Structure 1
Amino acid sequence: MSKRHLVERWFTAIWENNNAAVLAELLHPSVRESNTLDGMPNPHDDFPVLVEAVHRLIGRFSVDILHHMEDGDWTSTFFVLRSDVHGSEQNVSADGIVMMRFIDNQIAELRSRFDAFTFFEQLGQLPEEAMPACLAGQRLTWA
């Protein structure tokens, strides 16, 4: 199975279809031994909670791969999450990048960055133009 196919499976099975059972198949045993992935201390328990939270916020969504590169055991994938699909509750579009290192066709390391600022602005959880306000030194306060 190609690394690109494994990355697509990560996004489709786990993220889009909310199927946490696939984690056991995709994560290398070294992840269970080190018990950390992308800063999560317990990925087998933490990723399903994160994925479920996103589904509760926006409903159905898709993840499209915009650019994918491979270098040895590593992949780098630029993606966009879109919720403009049938059954979505909120319309959002935010991009990110994920780097994965593979051993024996399983994910041994994962590092990701997601534009959560834009994501939460679009959900109305951050005010519009929050980034320029923060850069100007203003503080965001909630009533």
Structure 2
Amino acid sequence: MTKTDILREWYTAVWEEGRLEVIEDYFLDTTHTQHIAQGFGIEPSEIREWVSVLRSFVTDIHVTILHSIEEGDWISAMLEITCRNAATGAPMKVHQQIMLRFDGDKKAESYPAFDFIRFFEQLGQLPEHTHALLLGGTVLR
């Protein structure tokens, strides 16, 4: 299996199918931190809670790997996530970039960058065009 295949399998099992019991199977047994936001890392055991919260906001998750580059132990990928707002049923689309280092077929380091602003805009928890508003100097309180 390629690293892209493993990544595809991960998103199918955990994000799309909600099989949270397999999360730890994808990581090394040694200490590993997934850095979901700058300065904010979570352990694989905590990913179950994070994915559960994410899945409580949306349904019908589908992850497409738009591009991936593999180099040695590393993979970098651009993802498109489509889903539906659980409250309204409205379709949503968000992007994620991720860099992962593998040790064999297990994740050793991961650095995802999820578009939280666009995600929460589509949920109705942030105003439309939040990014543009912030660039224009608007202060959200």
Q: TM-score scaled by structure 2?
A: 0.87
Counterpart AA for 2:64: D
Query: Using the alignment, how far apart are the partners of 1:26 and 1:130 within structure 2?
Result: 35
Look up the SS of the partner of 1:126 in the other structure.
coil
Match of 2:74 in 1: 74
Query: Using the alignment, how far apart are the partners of 2:70 and 2:23 within structure 1?
Result: 22
- Show structure 2 runs of 5+ residues with no match: none
What is the correspondence of 1:1-143 to structure 2 with a 5 Å cutoff? 1-30=1-30, 33=31, 35-38=32-35, 39-44=40-45, 46-83=46-83, 89-141=89-141
Look up the SS of the partner of 1:61 in the other structure.
strand
Q: Once structures 1 and 2 are overlaid, which stretch shifts more, 103-112 or 128-137?
A: 128-137
- Report Cα offsets for 1:25-81 as digits up to 9, x if no partner: 110122xx3x5222434321x211111111111122100110011000000110011
Look up the SS of the partner of 1:60 in the other structure.
strand
Deviation at 1:96, TM superposition (A): 1.2
Query: Using the alignment, how far apart are the partners of 1:94 and 1:41 within structure 2?
Result: 21
Look up the SS of the partner of 1:9 in the other structure.
helix
Look up the SS of the partner of 1:70 in the other structure.
strand
Cα pair 2:27 2:44 within 8 Å, conserved: no
Cα pair 2:24 2:44 within 8 Å, conserved: no
Number of positions where the alignment pairs a residue of Structure 1 with one of Structure 2: 134
CA RMSD of aligned residues (A): 1.6
Counterpart AA for 1:21: E
In the TM superposition, structure 1's runs of 4+ consecutive aligned residues that sit over 4 Å from their partners are none
Seen in structure 2, the aligned counterparts of structure 1 residues 110 and 77 have a Cα distance that, compared at 3 Å, is same
Look up the SS of the partner of 2:65 in the other structure.
strand
